[in-house]
Amino acid sequence: MSQATRHTNPEAILQVLQDWTEAQWLRALDLSFARFLLSLEPQAPALLPLAAALLARLEGEGHTCLQLDLFLHEPDRFLSGAPELITEMRHILAAWSQPQQWIDILSTCRVVEHIDHTHPKLQGDDSETPLVLDQGRLYLRRYWRDAQCIARTLTERVSRRASIPVPAETLKPLLAQLFPADTSGSPENLPWQKIACALAMRGRFTIITGGPGTGKTYTAARLIALLMAQHNSDSLRIVLAAPTGKAAVRINESLHNAIAQLPPLGQQDLAAAFARIGPARTLHNLLGARPGTRRFRHDRQHPLDLDVLIVDEASMIHQEMMAALLRALPDHAQLILLGDQDQLASVEAGAVLADLCNHTGSYDSATCTWLEATCNCFLETATRSSNPLSSGVVRLQRSHRFNVGIGALADAVQQGQTSLAIQTLHQEAVLEWYEAPEVAQILQLADSHSGYRPLWENIRRAGSKNIEEHALWVQQILEQYGAFRLLCALRQGPWGVTGINQAIEDHLQETGLLKTQGLWYAGRPALITRNDPQLGLSNGDIGIALPDPQGKLRVYFPGNDPLPRAILPSRLKYSESAWAMTVHKSQGSEFQHTALILPAQDSAVIRRELLYTAITRAREKFSLFATAAGLEQAITRRTLRMSGLLSALQNSAN
Ligand SMILES: Nc1ncnc2c1ncn2[C@@H]1O[C@H](COP(=O)(O)OP(=O)(O)OP(=O)(O)O)[C@@H](O)[C@H]1O
């Protein structure tokens, strides 16, 4: 068959898709979706099955739409694979290389709805075609619907910004009391934490973004104190949440510590009031996930019972979850998102926090007047921002916790400055760079005092039979495990999680440090890989297998209770060893010492956001195993997730 025929015949395109699926470049799901659309519209043009399969595959890579101009300009930026497959894809796409061709052809399909913004009332929600074409972007319908929902709900929330009646004259002295050092109103040194509180106090939607240690939790603690001082703390329902169980545990701990350090505010017993809020929950749990479905118990008809919702680690919220959250949020409630927009985006599709923070940092005149009245800050009023949420977003700028060397490296990477990053790696004592990495060096580091050695020695000592002493020992082991972590960019291969875990277990066995035969051995850190509601465990939770006081092996998980939970290993169906873990899985955690392992061979998944996320997991020391070329590629390559959220926000605001 000639290439020309291949390009115009849907059956021939299906054959190409079949070949790509056999080569494992497409997923079976992608092919099935293309077939399904052709079954709905047998006379469809050849472009339809191709577009459907590529769109489905892109969704698997985290994109919420196929943005025609970006994708057709550089398809292999978004879909990587074996060179011959990429060449074939490029060759086939050459027949439809212009966005307008796609629009003209796909608009004729019955399974595609083309949104016409000049007649918005006639379009949209009522129609149920599987695909939607909107302003040069092709969507799976549910992603389009979710983007519209987020955009509509948030612009509506922001437009009611000033509708919470908080008198500036009562807020001002409270803010001054909570942020005593922040008296300066000079533009170079604005008190962003105080500004964040002032905005969140009267807004129904606020984002407090910033790198690690910039005081997001510090600010959230003060915001909670202000809310309690302004309203009746007994009846105000404040709820804390996070995308994962681990992140929920962490926000509990850090907020608890931050509240304990707060100065007294009026008559409030803050610690008691905070205790009434209750521990942070995962978003799944809060919304009432229905197992085996995409649905939640709470939605527009059954809204959540709360007045204020504070969600930490918001960079991990994917688009579908954000839409579900907004549907379930009562109209009157205040939503505050905390997170670092520069971190890796969510595993599932979308880059919600980064999209929502895009083009922000300017404030409208009403907001500037409010900040002047409450914070004594004089900000320049922006002429119209291209992001309607801009007045509700605050970026905290200064790190208060970070080790200076680690912070400098994170900044250089985040700004894409390779030579500065290399110079910093060479200069700073807390940074260690293995430029010609070998597995033996990784094992040596893991087996050192700043690695797992203290943990391994403590595990070998074995716990006491006395219950209290045993509990203390378990607690100590969990803390020691949390002090160091090996992070990998990849899952598979000798430099990936599986290879490094195996190398460590072999090392432990060979040196006799721990007996690692079998799946479960005393000392094995086990990462849960699937949610298990019955056991109350979430994907990403980590426990350590240790003998109980009777010598029987149990897996101990840290939790909100002071005592770790003990579960029999046989009950844990889905787990993997966690001496090394992926950078993705480490999100929401921090370790005193973090080591990142980049593979010798380049991989398209190694990008700036991954490097930044790994570096910012380290509190005191960061070790890097990477060649100079690997490091440079990682810094240069940026993640670009195709999404229509910003454009949907702009449409909603008009
Ligand atoms: N304005 C400030 N003055 C003094 N100390 C501060 C201030 N802001 C934050 N800190 C301190 O800096 C440290 C880091 O703050 P915090 O934990 O709130 O940062 P974060 O942005 O939530 O970090 P992460 O993203 O890692 O969770 C804490 O010890 C906190 O008490």
Q: Quick one: how many helices (H) and strands (E) in the chain?
A: 28, 20
Kindly report, residue by residue over 31-63, the tens digit of the pLDDT.
999 999 999 999 899 999 999 999 999 999 899
Token pair listed for 272:
């008691």
Q: Which atom of ligand 1 is found nearest the CA of 258?
A: 31
Verify whether ligand 1 is closer than 6 Å to residue 215 (CB atom). yes
Give the integer Cα–Cα distance in Å for 178 and 197: 10
Yes or no: say if 463 and 469 are a contact pair by the CB < 8 Å rule: yes
Pocket test for ligand 1, best of 250, 400, 402, 403 (most atoms within 8 A of CB): 400
Verify whether ligand 1 is closer than 6 Å to residue 211 (CB atom). no
Verify whether ligand 1 is closer than 6 Å to residue 210 (CB atom). yes
Burial grade of 163 (CB within 10 A; 0-12, 13-18, 19 or more): exposed
Q: Which of 312, 314, 387 lies closest to 344 in space, CA to CA?
A: 314
DSSP code of residue 622: E
Token pair listed for 229:
């001082």
Verify whether ligand 1 is closer than 6 Å to residue 217 (CB atom). yes
382 vs 344: which has the higher pLDDT:
344
Verify whether ligand 1 is closer than 6 Å to residue 501 (CB atom). no
Kindly report, residue by residue over 325-367, the tens digit of the pLDDT.
999 999 999 999 999 988 887 778 888 999 999 877 788 888 8
Give the integer Cα–Cα distance in Å for 20 and 14: 10
Q: How confident is the model at residue 276, as a pLDDT?
A: 82
Q: Which atom of ligand 1 is found nearest the CA of 254?
A: 17
Kindly report, residue by residue over 585-616, the tens digit of the pLDDT.
998 888 999 999 999 887 778 899 999 999 99
Query: For residue 618, how far is its CA from the centre of ligand 1 (angstroms)?
Result: 15
Nearest-CA residue for atom 11 of ligand 1:
400
Nearest-CA residue for atom 14 of ligand 1:
213
- CB count, 10 Å around CB of 99? 18
Pocket test for ligand 1, best of 217, 222, 587 (most atoms within 8 A of CB): 217
Yes or no: say if 612 and 342 are a contact pair by the CB < 8 Å rule: yes
Beta bridge partners of 282: 242
> What confidence tier does 124 reach under pLDDT thresholds 50, 70, 90?
very low
Q: For residue 297, give Cα distances in angstroms to 51, 107, 240, 285, 330.
A: 34, 36, 18, 10, 14
DSSP code of residue 532: B
Give the integer Cα–Cα distance in Å for 356 and 326: 14
Verify whether ligand 1 is closer than 6 Å to residue 401 (CB atom). yes
Helices 47-60, 99-106: inter-axial angle, 10-degree rounding: 110
pLDDT of residue 384 exceeding 90, the answer is no
> What confidence tier does 480 reach under pLDDT thresholds 50, 70, 90?
very high
Pocket test for ligand 1, best of 208, 218, 587 (most atoms within 8 A of CB): 218
| Full-model pTM | 0.85
Yes or no: say if 352 and 150 are a contact pair by the CB < 8 Å rule: yes
Binding residue positions: 210-217
pLDDT over 70 percentage in the chain: 94
Q: Which of 242, 261, 263 lies closest to 252 in space, CA to CA?
A: 242
Identify residue 345 by its one-letter amino acid code.
A
Verify whether ligand 1 is closer than 6 Å to residue 588 (CB atom). no
Supply φ then ψ for residue 488, to 5 degrees.
-115, 150
Verify whether ligand 1 is closer than 6 Å to residue 362 (CB atom). no
pLDDT of residue 184 exceeding 80, the answer is no
Q: Which atom of ligand 1 is found nearest the CA of 219?
A: 18
Give the integer Cα–Cα distance in Å for 471 and 490: 35
Kindly report, residue by residue over 208-219, the tens digit of the pLDDT.
999 888 899 999
Verify whether ligand 1 is closer than 6 Å to residue 218 (CB atom). yes
> What confidence tier does 2 reach under pLDDT thresholds 50, 70, 90?
very low
The dihedral through the CA atoms of 361, 366, 368, 372 has a sign that is negative
pLDDT of residue 6 exceeding 70, the answer is no
Yes or no: say if 154 and 331 are a contact pair by the CB < 8 Å rule: no
Q: How confident is the model at residue 263, as a pLDDT?
A: 78
pLDDT of residue 402 exceeding 70, the answer is no
What DSSP letter does each residue of 371-396 carry, written as one string? HHHHH---PPBPS--SSTTGGGEEE-
Query: For residue 428, how far is its CA from the centre of ligand 1 (angstroms)?
Result: 22
Identify residue 275 by its one-letter amino acid code.
A
Identify residue 487 by its one-letter amino acid code.
L
Query: For residue 392, how far is its CA from the centre of ligand 1 (angstroms)?
Result: 21
Q: How confident is the model at residue 4, as a pLDDT?
A: 44
